[in-house]
């Protein structure tokens, strides 16, 4: 709106300028000339606005010029009034425009403040949610870091234990003790104390790592722990076929030597069972034998020596426990059978006594029957006696005042 008002003012001022130029050109075309041919500048010389001076000739048409000047002055005055009015209108428009701009500014400021407050609130809520999520994630992260730290400590402990285990396994005596301890733990966890004996000495003077006491058959079974670790490591670390074949032969030879020693030392006819167990503390060695050395396993079976690992030994011990349980059940069944036979004898004795008592009851019943017959006879005789009629006896008359006669 203010731009339109300014544009109208510029148009009006331009129009007035064009009108003034037209009047100026008209006056110049009607201006008189002097004797030398030059035009006289009316209204712009020293004598502009006053009459002709003394000694100066008067120009023709002075009345018209005075009238034109008067009209021009009136037009200028009217133009000045219009300009003043336009200035007032422009000032009013400017004031109105300023008020509108201030109102718009206040409106825009209020809208911006509202939107800014809304944005601040949303950003605050978003930051609160983000901070809560970040706090939860940090809590989870701390817990996971704690778990990782605990796992790291566990791994460190296991690493130290593995190093210690490697140190133990590198020594033959310590390795043998390790196998014996593992064997003892497995046996003690599964069987009752009466079913085994550790470091038992046989009649041939040999000391077995463990004897499993089973009823005949099969009888006592010897278990010996063996750990051919060096030959297994040599086979595992072999890099070419030649070294691998050499290590395989060494492992087979060591295992068969252990099998032969166990068969010769711990299978004693008449004292132990006709078979024995060779315990390998390593599942890896056991798996290697059964996967790539079937001939060694077959030879051990022919020698009545059964190779077992920790896992298969647990299954064997569970079988032994079932055998022991079955044996105890058979023993208890024998006891129960004996008790049942005794119970039958007592039942037969009770049957004889019940028969005697029944005969006594029969005799008593016969006596009661005979007593009942006698009673019936007595009752019938009593009825007969009651029915007998007896004659009446004459009674003497009694007189008043007389005493009755005494009977003789």
Read off the DSSP letter of residue 176: H
Tokens found for residue 58: 């008067």
130-158 pLDDT, tens digit per residue, is 888 888 888 888 888 888 988 888 887 77
Residues 6+ apart with CB under 8 A from 309: 279, 280, 281, 282, 283, 285, 286, 287
Residues 6+ apart with CB under 8 A from 178: 168, 169, 227, 281
225: left (phi over 0), alpha (psi -120 to 50) or beta: beta
Mean pLDDT of 202-225: 88
Read off the DSSP letter of residue 33: B
- Looking at the chain, the whole-number percentage of residues with pLDDT higher than 90 is 12
**pLDDT value of residue 258:** 92
Place of tokens 């790291």: 152
pTM of the model: 0.44
**Higher model confidence: residue 284 or residue 65?**
284
352-368 pLDDT, tens digit per residue, is 888 888 888 888 888 88
Mean pLDDT of 371-395: 74
Q: How many helices (H) and strands (E) does the chain have?
A: 8, 5
Mean pLDDT of 268-287: 89
Domain ranges of the chain: 170-328
**pLDDT value of residue 58:** 43
306: left (phi over 0), alpha (psi -120 to 50) or beta: beta
CATH number of the domain located at residue range(s) 170-328 in this protein: 3.40.1350
3-state secondary structure of 19: helix
314-334 pLDDT, tens digit per residue, is 988 888 888 888 777 777 777
């Amino acid at each position: 709106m203010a731009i339109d008002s300014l544009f109208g003012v510029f148009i009006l001022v331009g129009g007035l300028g064009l009108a003034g130029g037209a009047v100026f050109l008209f006056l110049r075309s009607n201006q008189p000339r002097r004797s030398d041919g030059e035009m006289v500048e009316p209204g712009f010389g020293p004598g502009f606005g006053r009459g002709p001076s003394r000694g100066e000739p008067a120009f023709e048409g002075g009345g018209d010029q005075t009238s034109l000047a008067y009209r021009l002055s009136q037009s200028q005055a009217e133009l000045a009034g219009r300009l003043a009015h336009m200035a007032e209108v422009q000032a009013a428009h400017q004031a109105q425009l300023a008020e509108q701009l201030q109102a718009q500014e206040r409106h825009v400021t209020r809208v911006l403040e509202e939107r800014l407050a809304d944005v601040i609130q949303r950003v605050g809520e978003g930051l609160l949610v983000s901070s809560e999520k970040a706090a939860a994630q940090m809590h989870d992260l701390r817990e996971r870091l704690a778990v990782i730290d605990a796992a790291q400590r566990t791994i460190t402990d296991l690493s130290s234990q593995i190093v210690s285990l490697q140190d133990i396994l590198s020594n033959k005596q310590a390795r043998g003790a390790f196998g014996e301890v593992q064997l003892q733990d497995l046996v003690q966890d599964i069987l009752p104390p009466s079913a085994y004996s550790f470091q038992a000495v046989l009649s041939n003077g040999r000391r077995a790592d463990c004897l499993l006491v089973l009823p005949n058959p099969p009888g006592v079974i010897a278990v010996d722990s063996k750990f051919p670790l060096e030959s297994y490591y040599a086979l595992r670390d072999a890099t070419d076929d030649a070294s691998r074949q050499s290590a395989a032969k060494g492992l087979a030879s060591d295992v068969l030597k252990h099998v032969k020693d166990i068969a010769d030392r711990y299978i004693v006819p008449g004292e132990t069972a006709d078979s024995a167990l060779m315990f390998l503390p390593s599942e890896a060695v056991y798996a290697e034998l059964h996967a790539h050395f079937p001939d060694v396993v077959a030879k051990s079976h022919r020698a009545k020596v059964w190779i077992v690992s920790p896992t298969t030994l647990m299954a064997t011990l569970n079988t032994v426990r079932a055998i022991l349980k079955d044996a105890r059940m058979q023993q208890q069944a024998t006891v129960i059978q004996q008790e049942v036979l005794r119970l039958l004898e007592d039942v037969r004795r009770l049957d004889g006594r019940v028969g005697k008592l029944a005969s006594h009851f029969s005799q008593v019943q016969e006596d009661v029957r005979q007593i009942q017959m006698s009673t019936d006879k007595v009752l019938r005789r009593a009825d007969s006696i009651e029915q007998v009629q007896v004659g009446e006896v004459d009674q003497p008359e009694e007189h008043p005042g007389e005493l009755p006669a005494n009977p003789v």
